[in-house]
């Protein structure tokens, strides 16, 4: 391997992947950033520091030989439920650190099973380094640091404005998540509860509440696996989202459908949904997308949020910051499989500074004197 640091972004031709590549090129001027894809499609980003690398994760032997040439691999492929832990296992066999933007609990369960293998091979695997989990995890951890001891409720709320371009894998993940029951923490325990799609939330930059739908929370699953605080002190940790153009009634219909486990039907629906989005999302406003975390305690409540970027930009810039930290701060985390919870135990301050360079700023608000409990009915 040459002395120049090299990163391979597998899925670097995708909607999120190309934004990751662009951000890495901007912030890591002395690093080669290669675009990994199984298709012959030409990359949309052309630079003298990028090469198009044809790689197919399904061809494990060849993929391993390719990955050996890199210092770090970023996995921007999906849906992750289709790949499970295979890409991470290949990276571990090749002896190369990797990080992903996984947002599915089923895949996270498989990936964390590689922990012992990764430690034996002295490989670092960081999973869930996108917008949710990832950025949302950082919001939750930042809030907890500012709250006094005692029982508290944590609420994640995401507002997705229409994007000019939507990835099929992202649409598949979203549609697959609309099941009858969702994962959250309730009274200190990870539970499956009936989805409640009848609540509203007033997001930053909006003067009226918006309808939200109940979604499974990977952050809740991660908290149960590696609790950053005593779980008995967490009365609730849930996730609800608003997606422009998708009504609560549509989601309720999807939850009742009997084909939600059929990935072929889900993929066809996703392709159709992406087609409709690309026709209608001509006028879009990044300021209307936001990620919000709120912590409600007995005597004090706080909110923290990020806005001003679309969800793909938030994901790309966040994972780029993590990659920079992992590449140049070798002792920031030990070998093994980690979520952001363990990562922030070591160096949250440096990460926050890297995010500021990328125009991701956390805005805190005191909500103690504001009537907010009604928003979670």
pLDDT digits (tens, 9 = 90+) for 277-313: 665 655 555 557 899 999 999 888 999 999 989 899 9
Beta-carbon contacts of 373 under 8 Å, excluding residues fewer than 6 positions away, are: 296
Crossing angle of helices 60-67/86-94, nearest 10°? 50
150: region left, alpha or beta (phi > 0 left; psi from -120 to 50 alpha): left
CA distances, 98 to each of 59, 122, 123, 249 (Å): 18, 12, 8, 39
Name the band, by pLDDT with cuts 50, 70 and 90, for residue 373: very low
pLDDT given for residue 178 in this prediction? 73
Question: b/e map of 344-359 (b: 16 or more CB within 10 Å)?
Answer: beebeeebbebbeebe
Q: What is the percent of the chain where pLDDT is above 70?
A: 84
Mean pLDDT over each residue of the chain, to the nearest integer: 87
Element (H, E) at 352: helix 340-357
- The percentage of the chain sitting over the pLDDT mark of 90, rounded to a whole number, equals 63
Q: Which of 67-76, 190-199, 201-210 has the lowest mean pLDDT?
A: 201-210
DSSP 120: H
User: Token digits for 211?
Assistant: 């309808």
* pLDDT above 90 for 332: no
Can you say whether the dihedral through the CA atoms of 126, 18, 291, 249 is positive or negative?
negative
Which is more confident, 345 or 106? 106
Phi-psi region for residue 84, left (φ > 0), alpha (ψ -120 to 50) or beta? Answer: left
The DSSP annotation for 51-105 comes to -EEE--TTSHHHHHHHHTT-SEEEE--S-HHHHTTHHHHHHHHHT-EEEE----H
The structural domains of the chain, ordered by start, are 6-130+314-357 (3.40.50.720), 135-311+359-376 (3.30.360)
| Residue found under tokens 């939200």 | 212
Instruction: Say what the pLDDT of residue 168 is.
Output: 67
Q: Kind and range of the H or E element at 303? A: strand 301-307
- In 117-227 the beta strands, taken as DSSP E runs, fall at 124-126, 152-160, 181-186, 189-194, 200-201, 210-211, 213-215
Looking at the DSSP assignment, which residues form a beta bridge with residue 366? 302
Enter the pTM of the model: 0.90
pLDDT of 244 over the 70 cut: yes
Which of 315, 344, 342, 330 is CA-nearest to residue 123? 330
Rounded CA-CA distance 173/300 in Å is 35
Beta bridge partners of residue 294, listed in sequence order: 155, 303
> Following CA atoms 29, 337, 129, 324 in sequence, which dihedral angle do they give, to the nearest 10 degrees?
-20
If residue 151 lies in a helix (H) or strand (E), which one and from where to where? none
Predicted pLDDT at 204:
84
Banded model confidence at residue 376, pLDDT cuts 50, 70, 90: very low
- Joined tokens for residue 325: 């930290």
The answer to whether 336 touches 160, Cβ cutoff 8 Å, is: no
Question: What tens digit of pLDDT does each residue of 46-90 get?
Answer: 788 899 999 999 999 999 999 999 999 999 997 888 889 999 999
Are 44 and 50 a contacting pair, CB within 8 Å?
Answer: no
Residue 214 binned pLDDT confidence (cut-offs 50, 70, 90):
very high
Q: Which residues contact 263 (CB under 8 A, 6 or more apart)?
A: 82, 172, 176
CA distance 217 to 287: 24
CB atoms within 10 A of CB 2: 7
- Say whether pLDDT at 194 is over 50: yes
Residue 144 pairs in a beta bridge with none
3-state DSSP assignment of residue 176: helix
Q: Compute CA 88 distance to the chain's CA centroid, rounded to the nearest angstrom.
A: 16
CA quadruple 140, 154, 260, 244: dihedral sign: negative
- Altogether, the residues listed in the chain come to a count of 377
Q: What is the DSSP letter of 12?
A: T
Helix, strand or coil for residue 224? helix
Res. 23 pLDDT band, cuts 50 70 90: very high
């Amino acid at each position: 391997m040459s002395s120049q640091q090299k990163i391979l972004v597998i899925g670097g031709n995708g909607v999120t992947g190309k934004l990751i590549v662009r951000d890495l090129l901007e912030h890591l001027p002395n690093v080669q950033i290669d675009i990994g894809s199984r298709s012959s499609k030409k990359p949309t980003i052309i630079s003298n520091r990028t090469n198009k690398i044809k790689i197919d994760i399904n061809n494990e032997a060849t993929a391993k030989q390719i990955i050996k040439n890199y210092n770090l691999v970023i996995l921007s492929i999906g849906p992750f439920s289709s790949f499970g832990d295979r890409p991470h296992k290949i990276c571990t066999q090749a002896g190369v650190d990797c990080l992903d933007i996984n947002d599915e609990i089923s895949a996270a369960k498989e990936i964390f099973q590689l922990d012992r293998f990764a430690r034996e091979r002295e490989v670092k695997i960081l999973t869930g380094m996108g917008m949710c989990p990832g950025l949302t995890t950082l919001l939750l951890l930042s809030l907890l640091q500012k709250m006094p001891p005692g029982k508290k409720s944590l609420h994640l709320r995401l507002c997705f404005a229409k994007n000019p371009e939507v990835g099929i894998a992202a649409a598949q993940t979203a549609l697959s998540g609309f099941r009858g029951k969702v994962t959250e923490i309730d009274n200190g325990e990870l539970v499956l509860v009936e989805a409640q799609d009848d609540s509203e939330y007033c997001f930053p930059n909006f003067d009226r509440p918006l309808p939200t739908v109940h979604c499974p929370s990977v952050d809740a699953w991660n908290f149960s696996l590696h609790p950053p605080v005593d779980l008995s002190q967490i009365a609730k940790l849930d996730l609800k989202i608003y997606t422009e153009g998708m009504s609560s009634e549509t989601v309720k219909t999807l939850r009742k459908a009997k084909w939600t486990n059929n990935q072929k039907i889900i993929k066809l629906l996703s392709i159709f949904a992406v087609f409709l989005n690309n026709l209608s999302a001509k006028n879009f406003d990044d300021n209307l997308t936001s990620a919000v975390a709120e912590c409600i305690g007995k005597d004090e409540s706080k909110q923290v949020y990020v806005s001003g970027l679309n969800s793909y930009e938030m994901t790309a810039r966040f994972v780029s910051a993590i990659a920079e930290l992992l590449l140049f701060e070798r002792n920031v985390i030990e070998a093994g499989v980690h979520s952001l919870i363990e990562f922030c135990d070591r160096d949250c301050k440096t990460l926050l500074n890297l995010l500021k360079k990328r125009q991701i700023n956390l805005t805190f608000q005191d909500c103690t004197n504001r009537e907010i409990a009604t928003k979670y009915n």
